[in-house]
Every structure is written in structure tokens, then in C-alpha cells.
Amino acid sequence: MAFKKNGLMSNKEVIKELLDCFQNEADTPLEFDEEAILLAYQKEDQKQSISIKILSIFGGILASIAFLGFLFISGLYSSDISLLVLGGVLIVTSIWLNKKSDRIVMDTFSVSAFIIGFILLGFGCLQFKVSDNILSIIFIIIAFASLNIVQNYILSFIAVLIINGSILTLIISNNLYNIIPIYIAAIGMMMTYLFLKEGKIITINKTLSKLYNPVKIGLIFSFLIGLIFLGKKGILPIDANYNWLSSIIIIPLIVYIITILFKVINVQNTSHKIGIYIFTILILLSTALSPAISGAFLIILLSFFVNYKTGFVIGIISFIYFIFQFYYDLNFTLLTKSIILFSTGLLFIVFYLFTYKKLKANENV
Amino acid sequence: MKNINREDIQIIVRHSSLTAQGIDRILKRKVYNDKDAWQKFFQIFIISLGVGFTVAGIVFFFAYNWDDLNKFTKIGLLQGLIIITTLIVLLPQIKDHVKNIILTGASVLVGVLFAVFGQIYQTGANAYDFFLAWTIFITLWVSVSNFSPLWLIYLFLINTTFILYSEQVAKDWSGIFICLVLFLFNAFVLISAVYLDKSKKLKWFLNILALASISYATIGIVIGIFDKYQHSFPILIFIAAITFGLGIWHGLKTKSVFYLSVIPFSLIIIVSALLIKISDSEMMFLLVSLFIIGSVTLTIKNLIGIQKKWTHEQ
């Protein structure tokens, strides 16, 4: 698969070459602030490796778990006001530290402080008998504020997850389970917009260009968490009859992406287009009651479209899982399932042979 | 022409007069996947779905255990299917990656064959010998195809066979010993694969293997810390120390941040377990929390330093 190699360049000549490259692609003369770019590269060259990001996050989570252990054994979780104060101080400290110096070295500490801060704040509020609704709204406000103040990758990613979790809590604690499919559809729309309008979003302002990557991965995870609620029966009492509310948005999104793809792949023959549309819509409609499958497919398509490797891998893994879950939960005898699976498989193989022939014919021309 | 990637664009866009349209054009030409990549992706995706669903259909069909079918028909059907799929693989006009996908499907069918055999003769569906037979009889295909997803299935089967054997037959083996054997096996495969993989195309495969090996070592040592003393414990520590050292050396040599972050993380978990073994008081948990933050930060600081050195060397 043609994922391009990552890796940033550092020294002056390379950057010069790079800027020339940008100039070549543009039709009007461009202005660059070369000093600032060089400076940014010197700072940013620490930010390349996904291994380091994962290390920071896992380190932060482990440290938070150990801290929770401390909290429970010591019985401190029942002291109200000190929890609130400490929680607030930790959140503010982690945001402030990032604002002062956006060094990746500080990530583990600020991530831990951020997560522990939220946990303490949550416990503190519960001691004061603050309702779930108000607590969720407080969390959403704090997380939003942190996104506005600092755009550190990991902190922003966690802030997005906290916002998503709080919205889900709001929905669940008010027993509005059937809104979840609509909520998921809304995230799907936001995610698609974010992927397809990359150029537009990152040129609006500096803050958005920095938030782009963490919000993108944050939205993928939020979308997935929602899909798991729909894809695995029994986690939440969602009435499966409302699941199509997600599909009714996700399926058109996929069809829309395919329309764009026709331009990329250069499909011009109208009958081929109609054939592909019918095939896609038929297959997707058969999954209308389990939007998790089409949702995972949406992640795959979007990620491959913009060449986003992490999202692509997440999409493939969740796609396989949701298909498995779908057939596992299906209320048919194994024989009926077998017939459905087998004929779907044959359909794909026939479609493959058909497109293969067409491709061959094209190559020979 | 230089390779422009997404991070370059994001940095430069903050300090230039580039417009949204300009960025979109550069993204499309330099970052996004092109026509060829899409065609390849769709081909592999659709044929994988085709083979995957078909094989799953066959699995479910035999899982249904249709009483009206007699045992000869069942086994005969499956053997016929395996022969047909294997013959398709021998057709010269089929592309290599399609052959590999079909062969992977055929390998799953071999498992179904043994499962049906077990169904008829009541050997049980999760007996270790079922997995053992499955593993043995696809060995040839695995080595011929040299297809990494099939290799992954194969290694998964070997691991499963061993774990089931330890649960069903060798019930007196300790958790540490089981982890030691699994660690040794996976690390051995990993080291051989690293040695043989000259093309450097199998990074994801090697990383999964490395992750599995390191996890076995970590789990084994953590069990050893909390359980009563076993003779295999010092052996595990000794071999893990050597292998981790090798891993760090390999990471430094090949400039792979992966090894340099996974191995220290495993060590951090082990030390944290040791600390909790010493005392499980509240203060210790606070200390562990601080220790994790401190040690991860230190690791990252070193990693960044090493990476800086690498970029300067270039």
C-alpha cells in the first residue's frame, strides 16, 4: 500500500528546497517567513514518532491508575473540598505547563495531571451531590477551554475524548438512548468534513492547524466508541429499530466519497459508475440495521483517501470486529447465516473478477 | 523532487501566504493516495472480503452440523473444496497477492476439516490436538506462500496449541514456565525474521511479534514477582535481560524508536510491580504513580535526544 514515508527534515537547505517545492505547485508567488519556519522545525522535530505519543498516553494512564489506587486505599476520595481544589489545581497546572513550554518531555506529566485532575474533580463533585448532568457540562466546558488554550497533541486528543464521553454520559443518564444513533451520525459528519476539508481547516488560523491532527484522531475514537454501543448488543438498551438513523447519514457519506473517488480513479463510463453505485448501495443497505459496519468502512475510506495510516489500521481492525459481531449476534440458524455469508462472499468474488477484467481491458488499450 | 508530508504542510502553512486551494492542491498531489494506490487497495479489499465471507460461510455451514449429511459427505465436501482452492492457486494467470489470499482461505478450511473430524468422532472443538493437526498440515503452505498474514495466523495457531496443551495436558506447568516458553519461541521467530527480512517491508509484522514476545516476558516476570518461587523464574529473567539488551541494540542500530520505547515501558511495568510487591500501602501507590511519570518522562527525554542525534548524522 502506498503510504508515504514520514519523517521531518531539519536543516536549512532542505527547508529551502521544500519551500521551492511548494512554490512550484502554486500559480501565484508565495511569501514564506523562513526564519519562523526554521525555528518551528527545530522545535517540531521532536514530534514525529507515534511510539513516543503512545508511550506518553500509556504512561499517563498507568500513573493515573496507580494514583487511583492511592486515592482508594487512603480513603481520600471521600474528602470533598480538597479533592475539588486538588483536581482544579492539577488541570490548571497541566494546561499552564503546556502553555509555558510545549515540550514533548512534559507530556507524560501533563497527561497524568490532566486525567487525575478530571478524576478528582469528578469525585469531588459527586461528594457535593452534583448531578451527572451538571458534572458532564462542567467537564465539557473545561475540556473545550483547554482546547482553546493549549493545542498540545495528546492533551487535545484526551480533551476530545472527554467531551465525547461527557456527551454520552449526558445522553445515557437522561435515558435518551435512542438519540445515540443520531449523535453518532453527527460525529460521522464532522469527521468526514474534517477529513475532506483539510486544506480549508488548517489555513483558517494557527490554532486550528495545530488542533487538526489530535481532533482528527479524537473524532475517530469517539465515532468508534459510539459504534461499539450500536455494534455490540446489550451494552446499552438501545432499540435496534432506531439504528437506521445512523445509517441514513453514514451510507450517503460513503456514496459521496465514492463520487469523489470517481475523479481520483478516473472512472468516466456512466454505466460503470451506475454499476458501482448499485453494488455499493445494495451491500451497504443490507447492513442498514447495524451501522457499525458501514461506520468502520467510512473510517477506512476516509483514512485511505487522505493517506492517514493510523486511521486506516484502526478502520480495518474495527471493520473485521464489527462484521464478526454482526453475524455472531444475528438471530438466524447457523445454516441461514452460512448461506448469507457464502453468497455475500461469492458476490464479492464475482465483482472482483468483473473489475479485474475491466482493468485488464483498460490496460490493453 | 522532495517528499512533502502532512507535518511539513502544517508547519509551513502557519508561516506563509498559502491559501486553502493551494494546500488542497499540494495535499492531493503529494500526500493523498493516487489512482494506482486506490486500484490496488480496492482489488485487495474486495478479494479479501470475497474469500473471507466465502470461507466464513463454509465454516458456519459445517458448524451447523447438519444431521442429514452423513460423515463421508461432510469430509468429502471439505476435502473437495480444499483441493479445488489449492488447484486455483496453481493457475499461472492469477496474481501473487490473490494466490496468497486464496491460500490463506484454504488454510482456514484445513482447520474446518479437522473441526468436522472432531465433530464426527467427538474429540472436542478446543482440544489442543485439533490445533496441533491444523498447524502441522498448513506448514507447507505457510512456507511456500511466505505471506505475512498467513504467517501471523500460523504463529497464532502455534501459540494457541501450546496454551491449550498446558491447560489440558501439562496442568502442572507454572504460569512463569508457560510464559518463558512462549517468550522464547516468539523471540526466536522474531530474531530469525529480523535476520531474514532484508527488504524491510515487514515492519508491522515484526512489531506485532516483538510486542507479543515482550508481553510474554513482562507477564511472566510480573507473575514471578507475586507468586511463590519457581526455578524457571531466574531463567526467564536471565533470558529476558539478554533479549531486551539485544532489542535495545537492534533499535539503536536500525534507528527504530519502537524497540526503544516498548522495552523501557516493559521495564517500567516490572519495576512498578516490584515496588507494589514490597509494600501495598497507600504511600507506595503514590510513589508508583510518581515513579511511572518520572521514568516515562526520562525515557522520552532520552529518545528525543537519540532522535536528534540521528537527524544530525543524516
Residue A143's pLDDT is: 94
Per residue in B47-91, pLDDT (tens digit) is 999 999 998 888 888 887 777 778 888 888 889 999 998 998 888
Contact A72, A79 (CB under 8 A): no
Secondary structure of chain B in HEC code, one letter for each residue: CCCCCHHHHHHHHCCECCCHHHHHHHHHHHHCCCHHHHHHHHHHHHHHHHHHHHHHHHHHHHHCCCCCCCHHHHHHHHHHHHHHHHHHHHCCCCCHHHHHHHHHHHHHHHHHHHHHHHHHCCCCCCCHHHHHHHHHHHHHHHHHHCCHHHHHHHHHHHHHHHHHHHHHCCCCCCHHHHHHHHHHHHHHHHHHHHHHCCCCCCHHHHHHHHHHHHHHHHHHHHHHHHCCCCCHHHHHHHHHHHHHHHHHHHHHHHCCHHHHHHHHHHHHHHHHHHHHHHCCCHHHHHHHHHHHHHHHHHHHHHHHHHHHHHHHHC
pLDDT tens-place string over residues B194-212: 888 766 667 888 899 999 9
A120, A90 Cβ separation under 8 angstroms:
yes
CA-nearest of A292, A361, A345 to A321 is A292
Query: How far is the C-alpha of A73 from the C-alpha of A136, rounded, in Å?
Result: 26
**Cell numbers standing for residue A46:** 521532536
pLDDT at A6 over 70: no
Supply the DSSP symbol for A32. B
A185-227 per-position pLDDT tens digit: 999 999 999 999 988 898 888 888 889 999 999 999 999 999 9
CB A302 within 8 A of CB A311: yes
Q: Is some CB atom of chain B closer than 8 A to the CB atom of A199?
A: yes
0.90 surpassed by pTM: no
* Integer Cα distance of B163 and B158 in angstroms: 9
Decide if A117 contacts A88 (C-beta within 8 A). Answer: yes
Q: Can you tell me which residue has the cell 481532533?
A: A215
Residue whose C-alpha is closest to residue A40's, from A102, A108, A100, A97: A102
Please report the pLDDT score of residue B24 as a whole number.
Answer: 83
Q: Which H or E run contains A284?
A: helix A270-285
Per-residue model confidence as pLDDT tens digits over B76-129: 888 999 999 899 888 888 888 888 999 999 999 999 888 888 877 776 656 788
- Beta-carbon-side half-sphere exposure of residue B291 (alpha carbons within 13 Å): 18
Q: Give residue A56's pLDDT.
A: 87
Q: Would you say B176 and B189 are in contact if contact means Cβ atoms under 8 Å apart?
A: no
- The CA distance from A316 to A309, in Å, is 11
CB < 8 Å to A46, chain B: 304, 307-308
Alpha carbon B80 to chain centroid, angstroms: 31
Contact yes or no for A30 and B258 at CB 8 A: no
Q: CA-nearest residue of chain A to B290?
A: A63
Asked whether the beta carbons of residue A19 and residue B54 sit closer than 8 angstroms, the reply is no
Residue B310 near chain A (CB below 8 Å) = no
Listed by number, the residues of chain B in 1-30 with a beta carbon closer than 8 Å to a beta carbon of chain A are 1-27, 29-30
Of A107, A202, A345, the CB nearest to B53: A345
pLDDT tens digits, B279-308: 888 889 999 999 999 999 999 888 888 888
Q: What is the rounded CA–CA span in Å between residue A150 and residue A154?
A: 10
DSSP summary character for residue A235: S
Report d(CA A327, CA B32) in Å as an integer: 34
Query: B311 to chain A: which residues are within 8 Å by CB?
Result: 10, 45
| B interface test, pick of A31, A62, A205, A207 with most B CB neighbours within 10 Å | A62
Can you spell out the DSSP letters for A70-137?
A: HHHHHTGGG-HHHHHHHHHHHHHHHHHHHHH---GGGHHHHHHHHHHHHHHHHHHHHHTT--HHHHHH
Least CB-CB distance to A209: which of B10, B32, B60? Answer: B10
pLDDT in tens, A79-131: 778 888 889 999 999 888 888 776 767 778 888 899 999 988 988 888 888 88
- Report the residue from A7, A21, A37 with minimal CB separation from B1: A21
Q: What is the pLDDT of residue A365?
A: 46
- Whole-angstrom distance, CA of residue A146 vs CA of residue A129: 25
pLDDT tier, B25 (very low <50, low <70, confident <90, very high otherwise): confident
The residue type at B88: I
The three cell numbers locating residue B312: 544530525
Which amino acid is residue A196, in one-letter code? L
Nearest to A248 by CA among A291, A216, A302, A300: A291
Neighbours of B293 (CB within 10 A): 23
pLDDT band, very low/low/confident/very high, at A360 (cuts 50, 70, 90): low
Query: Among positive and negative, which fits the CA dihedral B135, B138, B143, B145?
Result: negative
User: What is the C-alpha separation between A21 and A175, in angstroms, rounded?
Assistant: 55
Contacts of B168 (CB under 8 A, 6+ apart): B127, B128
Cα separation of B82 and B76, whole Å? 10
Closest-CA residue of A relative to B302 is: A105
